[in-house]
C-alpha cells in the first residue's frame, strides 16, 4: 500500500516567455525613428539667406512656406503653386487648435528670385487669420550675438 501512496508526481515545466529580446527590439526601433524623423521633416534642401539676427530658431513654426532655388513653393513640405498657396494656408489655419492669429514663416533659398518671394508674401498677406509674415534667416558663421 505504501507504494500506492507514493505516486510519482510529474513536474510539468511551464514555458517561459522572456521579454528582454522584445524590449531590446522596441528600444532599437525607437532610436531609429528618433534619428530619422528630423531628416524626413527637413527634406527640402535650401540655403537660408544670411542676416545679423537669426530668425526662426527658437519659436515654434506651425506654418512654414519654403521657396527653393528653382522657385518651387512648399507649404509645410507640400508642393503648391502660387495660386493654391492662399487656399492651403486657409486650410492649415482651420485645422489649428488655437484660432488666434498666427505667424507664417517663409524660408527662401538664398538663390531664389526676389520676385517670387514678393509674390509669396503678397499672397500670404491677403489670407485672413495671419498675424504677420516672418522671413527666416541664418547667422553667418563667425558673427557673435550682441
pLDDT tens for 101-141 read: 678 888 888 888 888 888 988 888 888 778 788 888 877 76
Using an 8 Å Cβ cutoff, are 56 and 134 in contact? yes
Q: Highest mean pLDDT: which of 1-10, 49-58, 98-107, 118-127? A: 118-127
Residue 91 belongs to what domain range? 63-135
Give the pLDDT of residue 12: 78
CB within 8 Å of 82: residues ≥ 6 apart: 73, 116, 119, 120, 123
* More confident site: 55 or 45: 45
Tell me which DSSP letter residue 140 carries: P
Q: Is residue 90 part of a domain?
A: yes
Q: 90 vs 26, which has greater pLDDT?
A: 26
Burial class (CB in 10 A: 0-12, 13-18, 19+), 80: middle
Q: Give the pLDDT score at 29.
A: 95
For residues 137 and 33, give the distance between their C-alpha atoms in angstroms, rounded to a whole number.
28
> Considering the domain boundaries, does residue 27 fall inside one?
no
Query: What CATH number did the domain enclosing 102 receive?
Result: 3.30.420
Which stretches within 6-81 are classed as H helix? 20-41
- The predicted pLDDT at position 8 comes to 64
Residue 35 maps to a domain = no
Is 28 a domain residue? no
The span from the CA of 76 to the CA of 65, in Å, is 6
The model's pTM is 0.60
- Which residues are CB-contacts of 45 (< 8 A; sequence separation ≥ 6)? 68
Q: Given the C-alpha cell 504677420, which residue does it identify? A: 132
Looking at the chain, the whole-number percentage of residues with pLDDT higher than 90 is 10
Q: Give the chain's domain count.
A: 1
Where does residue 132 rank: exposed (0-12), middle (13-18), buried (19+ CB within 10 A)? exposed
Query: Does 123 reside within a domain?
Result: yes
Give domain status of residue 34, yes or no.
no
Amino acid at each position: 500500500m505504501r507504494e500506492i501512496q507514493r505516486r510519482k508526481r510529474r513536474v510539468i515545466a511551464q514555458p517561459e516567455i522572456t521579454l528582454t529580446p522584445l524590449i531590446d527590439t522596441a528600444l532599437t526601433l525607437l532610436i531609429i525613428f528618433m534619428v530619422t524623423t528630423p531628416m524626413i521633416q527637413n527634406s527640402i534642401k535650401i540655403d537660408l539667406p544670411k542676416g545679423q539676427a537669426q530668425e526662426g530658431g527658437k519659436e515654434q513654426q506651425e506654418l512654414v512656406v519654403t521657396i527653393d532655388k528653382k522657385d518651387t513653393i512648399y507649404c509645410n513640405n507640400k508642393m503648391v503653386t502660387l495660386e493654391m498657396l492662399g487656399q492651403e494656408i486657409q486650410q492649415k489655419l482651420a485645422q489649428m487648435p488655437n484660432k488666434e492669429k498666427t505667424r507664417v514663416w517663409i524660408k527662401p533659398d538664398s538663390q531664389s528670385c526676389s520676385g517670387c518671394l514678393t509674390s509669396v508674401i503678397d499672397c500670404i498677406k491677403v489670407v485672413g487669420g495671419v498675424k504677420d509674415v516672418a522671413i527666416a534667416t541664418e547667422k553667418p558663421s563667425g558673427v557673435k550675438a550682441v
